Structure 1
């Protein structure tokens, strides 16, 4: 049951602590800062500790609260909300807008039963595109569907980025999601890195401009009751991973700067700070042989580094917003029979309590993917961490909630959510962005645009999408043209939890596939469309394709609309396409566009 509005001399308020008195933190006439200070002084140690954790809880089928441990979540909902005092949660799978909105309202009603009625802040990783990886992003589901971050960058259009962010903001707010664990503004300078799809390329100046437009669309000029608070990641730039291996995993923990380009990777983060990003997230990566300002940086994950979080981010760059760690720096993650070690890179020998203490000393405010509040309370009670230090972080976290208006009304209109999420005009804009971001790399003898009523042989394209405008045929010998969609190549792995969802390793296509495609091209003109979640070595395809096209997460319908010229493709590569794996291996991980004689340079793209 929701707390009813009370009246104090003509002023209505929500009596969040149930004491029958209008307390300053309940008074909408006061500033967020004044309300924060009042509430901070009322909180118990356990409540403060709860604010400093953000973890995953899952949505029940009908929007009900899940009162068991889920596949990803560790504890029943009531236990973490009322028992551990957590009120920041990352939501994963969402089936419908009604389900999500109902769940938000049920969760907020539960939060009202806590001692001070602190509302929940629901966060999400990106969920408006195609990648479905619980460690990174979710496919759109009921939300409007757009290209991945690389595709937004391929549009090379600040207004388009701003439009996307504004649409996503409206859909998030409609279901109660008020925090975005994005934008991801790492510079994709290592071609093999498995986290590129949600980045916006490797041109630091252009990514900085995209960052400003993205934050404007989500947050507005400042945080308000209509904003979504952004967590910009991954400070100080997660792109230059050694050999392109991802720091989610022990073999990918090392971050390297052989080209001395550390400051280059900071550029978009400077812009995010200037634009008032609500939060920052350091990456898992552990810097190797890195010197900043003449000081050797400790070889520990960035979330454990006082030199990076306090020295660089807070003191040198002047950032005083929330710093939330990436997920599971403290405890191992066990899911079924699989395990993923805590990403405690460089501090593996420390106990979970010691890791917590080091993260706090680094200057972080919130522990991502953890709920071990008892360890934090013990650190304070044992005198290892001061309660005053917790107050610094809690103050920042509460201030965001007040600025978002959550204390005044955290509930949403379920019927309105159904009308807003996936609205026809939002879906149309997303579809157009998918098609327009398509990037034409080769177009021999004006193969594109494709004519209507031709005979088409296709692979990895839904047949009904072809039959709408052409005659599908069963073999290349029968066809006027062949259209084949491919994923960028990767090496499948499935030992550690999450590993199977990450595309890592070689960028080479298997030789058998290349040979088979060449045989198709002997019978009819061949159009190959490669979905780039990171670069691919396209060199073997160029001699025999009639057209070569890249997309960054697009439906079959959107790709075909671009190939036919029904929606003109205007994409430009946000990353370069290397000529060979030898060139990739010889390049420097932190240097943009560093592969020798690239097949296609950054910003390349043809018109048709």
Structure 2
């Protein structure tokens, strides 16, 4: 159990009987400029696998030192990278909070995380579930389209996060997947703006509750004002994907889910990297864009919460040993300090993925930014810490963490959702569901999983049925970090496609394609005995649907194009815009 008492020297900001506003005002008045500057940065941190704090020299994706970040630079907002055991994460977060409590003012840490309850493992977007319950990707929740299920999912995530100390979710991602090539589609709910808004509201309420409080996980909704319409479907993490365009004039369509999120009480908002081209907005990345952050988000939509930029807007950084330029699209010519000033002027409160508070000190002391402006953002950030109860009890129960995270109830709910999200695209001659114990030839399926359903054979000529699991094709990118962002061509390479078609001629073949984004496979659709799509599912989940032990309820959250030529001719901001798709959005059969 947690028996630690919160730090209390009798200062008003340490008094839980006062309001968050009163406590914030008192604490802010006690802070030095350097301490305020540290609050404006929300950066990455890792831990050692045994739950101890990481320091200089320890292995990490990017070099880091807990002591330097917390005590020297004064940061108190951290995004944990990596997957670890629940008990070890709880140990680490308590050690981190103890270290924070020993600083001059004892400001507790706000710990955040990217999504970590599904199958994606991309250090720039989401983490594999590991110890946590494993659900389909958000795109699979969109395929199911059930707001009650999304609320249950988010409430489960909330309880798992609270058990290990996560108090900010760097999600939901409520962009619309309008360009079939875009690499971030699996984190969305699809391209239906109305449904996305409905599911976003359920998600936010599941994590935060009706009001933000001590049992809440704050949501950082992303990516305002809607990622997705990226030129040629590339991603603005990288210079060749920086342009965001609206050739179909559907800017308001992409904005609609964010209006629903604000109405649901979203606590924080993350603007995307994209640089809008050909609009009435300034042609600079959204994190620097006053037209968008102040004119649209604050003034027009009335958002009063925290605005945290996406990661890495100010300085160049090494990731996986390779140098990546700052994602300062449209303001590349500015210095890091000038970029920070422009972002603050635009309306941002905090810089994601950066750790350079000295820039803020320099800006204030030079007169470029007033301390009053800094106080406005620091006040928002501190107030949320008080509302979340971090000053009153920042610690977690280490034993409870192991009992709660990934417990049987949560695991079963996630596995059920995996099955529900599977989408049946074709079922020739009503082959499905299979019966009996057929001889099974497998590709991409673990034999030990299939053995419970039939006799596994190694020769397709001896099989009654082949079961093949496939992944959405993508172009290999040379850069290590970019290799995690699956982009480009959606069609199967000719040799792989020919081998699949040969198999289908040899034996009736059930193909299941994991759709992390749309895929182009008309030939597979024509020749498979049955064709399924999954959005994150175990082999057992897929086989349960194939054999009728579970019911697939998914409907396509986007269309599946007929050719890459049709994709190239479509408009990036328009949903379901390819000519003569193989399967339209919303398609799905009931077995």
TM-score by length of 1: 0.95
For the residues of structure 2 that align with 1:95 and 1:562, how far apart are their CA atoms? Answer: 31
For the residues of structure 1 that align with 2:97 and 2:162, how far apart are their CA atoms? Answer: 14
How is 1:138-153 mapped onto 2 (pairs within 5 angstroms)?
138-153=127-142
8 Å contact kept, 1:258–1:590 = yes
Give the C-alpha shift of residue 193 in structure 1.
Answer: 0.3
What is residue 333 of structure 1 aligned with on the other side?
317
Corresponding residue pairs, total: 589
1:277 aligns with 2:260: no
For the residues of structure 1 that align with 2:56 and 2:233, how far apart are their CA atoms? Answer: 37
Give the C-alpha shift of residue 426 in structure 1.
Answer: 0.5
What is residue 402 of structure 2 aligned with on the other side?
418
Give the C-alpha shift of residue 74 in structure 1.
Answer: 3.8
1:55 aligns with 2:43: yes
CA offsets, 1:485-525, max 9 Å, x none? 01000001022x41111100011111222221111112221
> Secondary structure in 2 aligned to 1:543?
helix
For the residues of structure 1 that align with 2:366 and 2:162, how far apart are their CA atoms? Answer: 41
Per mean C-alpha deviation after superposition, the further-off stretch among 29-38 and 195-204 is: 29-38
Give the C-alpha shift of residue 63 in structure 1.
Answer: 0.8
8 Å contact kept, 1:3–1:112 = no
Give the C-alpha shift of residue 342 in structure 1.
Answer: 0.7
Give the C-alpha shift of residue 94 in structure 1.
Answer: 2.6
> Secondary structure in 2 aligned to 1:436?
helix
Structure 2 residues without counterparts, runs of 5 or longer: none
1:503 aligns with 2:486: yes
CA offsets, 1:105-141, max 9 Å, x none? 0000000011111100000000000010000000000
8 Å contact kept, 2:176–2:228 = yes
For the residues of structure 2 that align with 1:337 and 1:272, how far apart are their CA atoms? Answer: 37
What is residue 391 of structure 2 aligned with on the other side?
407
1:181 aligns with 2:181: no
> Secondary structure in 1 aligned to 2:523?
helix
How is 1:66-81 mapped onto 2 (pairs within 5 angstroms)?
66-68=54-56, 70-81=59-70
For the residues of structure 2 that align with 1:562 and 1:247, how far apart are their CA atoms? Answer: 37
What is residue 91 of structure 1 aligned with on the other side?
80
How has the CA–CA distance of structure 1 residues 72 and 337 changed in structure 2, closer, same or farther, with 3 Å as cutoff? closer
1:164 aligns with 2:164: no
For the residues of structure 2 that align with 1:452 and 1:338, how far apart are their CA atoms? Answer: 53
Structure 1 residues without counterparts, runs of 5 or longer: 6-13, 291-295
For the residues of structure 2 that align with 1:61 and 1:525, how far apart are their CA atoms? Answer: 46
What is residue 421 of structure 2 aligned with on the other side?
437
1:532 paired residue among 512, 515, 538: 515
What is residue 10 of structure 1 aligned with on the other side?
none
For the residues of structure 1 that align with 2:4 and 2:200, how far apart are their CA atoms? Answer: 40
2:302 paired residue among 318, 326, 344: 318
1:33 paired residue among 7, 15, 21: 21
> Secondary structure in 2 aligned to 1:197?
helix
1:221 paired residue among 210, 221, 244: 210
8 Å contact kept, 2:468–2:511 = yes
TM-score by length of 2: 0.98
8 Å contact kept, 1:167–1:426 = yes
For the residues of structure 2 that align with 1:32 and 1:335, how far apart are their CA atoms? Answer: 38
For the residues of structure 1 that align with 2:359 and 2:40, how far apart are their CA atoms? Answer: 12
For the residues of structure 2 that align with 1:139 and 1:593, how far apart are their CA atoms? Answer: 29
Give the C-alpha shift of residue 452 in structure 1.
Answer: 3.2
Give the C-alpha shift of residue 4 in structure 1.
Answer: 6.2
For the residues of structure 1 that align with 2:379 and 2:88, how far apart are their CA atoms? Answer: 32
1:591 paired residue among 563, 574, 580: 574
For the residues of structure 2 that align with 1:452 and 1:354, how far apart are their CA atoms? Answer: 69
For the residues of structure 2 that align with 1:606 and 1:475, how far apart are their CA atoms? Answer: 30
For the residues of structure 1 that align with 2:4 and 2:469, how far apart are their CA atoms? Answer: 56
Give the C-alpha shift of residue 597 in structure 1.
Answer: 1.8
How has the CA–CA distance of structure 1 residues 3 and 392 changed in structure 2, closer, same or farther, with 3 Å as cutoff? farther
> Secondary structure in 1 aligned to 2:402?
helix
What is residue 245 of structure 2 aligned with on the other side?
256
> Secondary structure in 2 aligned to 1:374?
helix
For the residues of structure 2 that align with 1:337 and 1:92, how far apart are their CA atoms? Answer: 16
For the residues of structure 2 that align with 1:3 and 1:113, how far apart are their CA atoms? Answer: 17
CA offsets, 1:270-323, max 9 Å, x none? 011111111000000001101xxxxx2111111010111011100111111000
1:64 aligns with 2:64: no
For the residues of structure 1 that align with 2:110 and 2:557, how far apart are their CA atoms? Answer: 33
8 Å contact kept, 1:55–1:73 = no
For the residues of structure 2 that align with 1:532 and 1:282, how far apart are their CA atoms? Answer: 26
1:124 paired residue among 113, 135, 140: 113
For the residues of structure 2 that align with 1:265 and 1:489, how far apart are their CA atoms? Answer: 26
For the residues of structure 1 that align with 2:13 and 2:356, how far apart are their CA atoms? Answer: 27
8 Å contact kept, 2:62–2:319 = no
CA offsets, 1:202-226, max 9 Å, x none? 0000000000110011000011111
> Secondary structure in 1 aligned to 2:527?
coil
How has the CA–CA distance of structure 1 residues 337 and 79 changed in structure 2, closer, same or farther, with 3 Å as cutoff? closer
What is residue 603 of structure 1 aligned with on the other side?
586
For the residues of structure 2 that align with 1:537 and 1:329, how far apart are their CA atoms? Answer: 34
For the residues of structure 1 that align with 2:320 and 2:94, how far apart are their CA atoms? Answer: 30
For the residues of structure 1 that align with 2:523 and 2:508, how far apart are their CA atoms? Answer: 16
How is 1:483-498 mapped onto 2 (pairs within 5 angstroms)?
483-495=467-479, 497-498=480-481
For the residues of structure 2 that align with 1:266 and 1:305, how far apart are their CA atoms? Answer: 16
For the residues of structure 1 that align with 2:97 and 2:416, how far apart are their CA atoms? Answer: 36
1:266 aligns with 2:255: yes
> Secondary structure in 2 aligned to 1:178?
strand
